[in-house]
Structure formats: C-alpha cells, structure tokens
Amino acid sequence: MTTDSVDNEMHPILGIPWQKMPRHIAIIMDGNGRWAQQQGKPRLEGHRSGSKAVRSTVTECARLGVECLTLYSFSTENWKRPREEVNGLMHLYAHYLINERPTIMDNNVKVRHLGSEEGLPDFVIKELHETVRISQSNTGMTLCLALNYSGRSELVGAIRRLAADTASGKISPEDIDEQLVSDALDTTGLPDPDLLVRTSGEMRVSNYLLWQIAYAEFYVTEVHWPDFSTEVLHQCICEYAKRNRRFGGLKPAGF
C-alpha cells in the first residue's frame, strides 16, 4: 500500500494517518553484546537472540505496510572484533538467510544486499545470493541487509563510478547532481530513510547510510536489540508520526 492512495485514511493498527507512516525505516541493531553480558551469557548468544528480533521486526514491518526496511547487520569496522565472534556471526548470518526464507516468502518480502561481498566467507555469499534470487519477484516490502557495509565506502564507490562515466564521456561533470549520486549508491531506486532507529541508547550514526539519512528523523531507544519488540517498533513509528518534517522549510511536509 502506498501513501499516495491513502493520505486521508488512518492506519488500522497504529491509528495514525497513513501519510504519517514512514516509507523507509533504517535500524542500527545495537546492544547484543551488552544484553548477553547482563544475562551472564557469551556475546554470541546475544547475537543469536538478536536474530529473533530481526524476524519479528521484519514480519511486523511487512504487516504494517512499511515499504522498505534496512538493517545494519555488520559494518566493515566489525572485522576488528575477536575472530571467534566474527566467525560465529558469519555462521549466524548464513543460518538466518537459510532459515528465514519461508518467512520472507510468506510475507512477500524482497531482499537486497547493501555493502561489499569482498571478505565475506563463500558460504555467506552463497546463501545471500540464493535468498536474493528467490525473493527478487516478490512485490511487498524490500528488506535491505547492510552486511559488510560502510557508508563512506559506498560513497567512494559511487564517486568512482561517476568518475569513470565522466572519463568515458558518458556524462559530463555538469551532469552530476544529487539524483545521479543517489542512483550510483547501493540503495538506488529506494526512497531515502524517513526514520532512523538506534537501539541500546547510543547516539551516533556509525558510518550508516551517510548520504541517505540527510533528512531522516532519529529515534534512540535504551532497549537492547534482543529485547526490541513489536511494541517498541510501534512506539518508534508513532513518535515519528508526531514529528513535523519541514525539510528546511517553514511548513511541515505534506501541508
């Protein structure tokens, strides 16, 4: 369901105007390790519990009619973590990509990958490709998995592509505008995030979607990611609906 056709209708679940629904929600899933520490468990158990929150969040966003959900799964900086933890994470990602295929297909979700495949284990790349492949014809919510992702690296890649097009004569320097830059990013064709959620109380963007979040509304919750429930998701969206988005102007967008 698009906002264009339901601007004057109320969301049947959230009770907010459809025009106040975020089209694209981006989440920084933080606090798995801290959650595990509080539970007296190994850090990997926190990541494993966090995967359950991923399932419920994806399913609920699809049910609510969110157009796009982007999850920050693993940053290029995360390779600095202990090898045992990184290896465990890679196997968790592969298991998630396999185990969640029925949920993805049942909810008509289309999966996209943001980031680089360079450095990822072959078994992760294989399962990532397969999940993207089988879901490519789905017409519901787009789920972007930012896996081995860096906002700065994404921008560098876009600059290199535009530079190559300029050098080949395909475009001129004067042709380069914001739309061309957006089209050169991993998120080409998707709306920019309206709402950026970060869990575990951290107040930074951590090299995440640096171009795309220029006008995103931020919502930070103290809840650690494994405890991120559908109720907390609803709170985030309802709080977003109260914001007046002016985009540099004087009147809220849509008025």
Show which residues are catalytic: 30, 78
The residue whose two tokens read 């495949």 is 117
> In 3D, which of 202, 178, 190 has the Cα closest to residue 27?
202
At which residue do the structure tokens 């295929």 appear?
A: 101
Q: How far is CA 221 from the centre of its chain?
A: 16
Cα separations in angstroms, 190 against 134, 142, 185, 187, 212: 20, 9, 10, 6, 10
CA-based nearest residue to 191, from 24, 1, 4, 7: 24
